[in-house]
Amino acid sequence: MERRFACTVCGKCCQGWLPLTLEDAVRHAHRFPLAVLWSTVRQGAKAFALTERLGLPLSKKVALRITPLSYLPPQQACPALADDGKCAIHHEKPLRCRVMPFSADREEKDQADLLIPRKDWLCDISAVAPAVYREGKILDSRDFDAERRAFESQAPIVKAYGDFLLKSSPAFKAEMEKLALRPGGGQMILKISPLLRKAGFVDLADFARRQAPVLRRFQALASDQDYARNYADWAVEMEGLQRNEGDGA
């Protein structure tokens, strides 16, 4: 089986949530409003074993994928998207944008359905588009391999954060177990600061100085109350981190 694909720069995939590596999240804190997505993956799903390895188990039958992401409402355009539909940060864009339409949180052999454009996407999958996938292999896997290496590198941090949260909050663990019972699994959005505290390379005060104004900007733009409330709450925390640094705390 061979699949063809070419980007037409329609900008349709540059909306809503954007999964990020931890390093990309920190690097782009001045640009994206950031959060952490917890997703449940059941035993039997194609990505179950990989999710257990890169995330952590919730039970013998459920694994947890823990993903930093740019937290935007579904129809909200990426802040790096220019008026002409092109990426304004092409040469420094996150790994996930470079890997698209593939994703390294799946095995390489399970990528074929990602090459089917979603509704309203204008990707070129015609016979004149270049071949990108053949017999379960990505023909140019350099970006895919880089994203997988990033996931593997951050896995110890993700596991330490996940273990801490599950052990310190039985109520949260119970909620994740409840979400796992839903058809197709469940998801939960959390603030990013507890994850960053497990990452020794992150300067929290610097991160807060860059992230707080982004959260305030998107709070002012948000029409969805859940997004507006989260932006506001997380901005307060980031502003507090800046004050504590200024006080020498």
Kindly give the confidence (pLDDT) of every residue in the chain, 249 residues in length, as a single tens digit, with 9 standing for 90 and above. 899 999 998 888 999 999 999 999 999 999 999 999 999 999 989 999 999 999 999 999 999 999 999 999 998 999 999 988 889 999 999 999 999 999 999 999 999 999 999 888 999 999 999 999 999 999 999 999 999 999 999 999 999 999 999 999 999 999 999 999 998 889 999 999 999 999 989 999 999 999 999 999 999 999 999 999 999 999 999 999 987 764 543
8 A C-beta contact, residue 93 and residue 70: no
Please compute Rg for the chain using Cα positions.
19
108 & 223 share domain: no
194 & 209 share domain: no
104 & 126 share domain: yes
Between CA 73 and CA 222 the distance in angstroms is: 8
238 & 222 share domain: yes
Number of Cα atoms under 13 Å in the Cβ half of residue 142: 2
Instruction: Tell me which residue range forms the domain holding 160.
Output: 2-201
184 & 70 share domain: yes
CA 42-137-45 angle, to 5 degrees, is 5
194 & 218 share domain: no
- Report the domain count for the chain: 2
209 & 183 share domain: no
Q: Is 200 helix (H, G, I), strand (E, B) or coil?
A: coil
93 & 216 share domain: no
Between CA 100 and CA 6 the distance in angstroms is: 10
Residue with token string 């790096």: 80
35 & 60 share domain: yes
Between CA 92 and CA 25 the distance in angstroms is: 12
Backbone angles phi, psi at 247, to 5 degrees: -85, 0
- Please give the pLDDT value at position 85: 81
- Please give the pLDDT value at position 245: 60
CA 1 to chain centre: 29
68 & 90 share domain: yes
149 & 65 share domain: yes
134 & 219 share domain: no
- Please give the pLDDT value at position 31: 97
8 A C-beta contact, residue 223 and residue 186: no
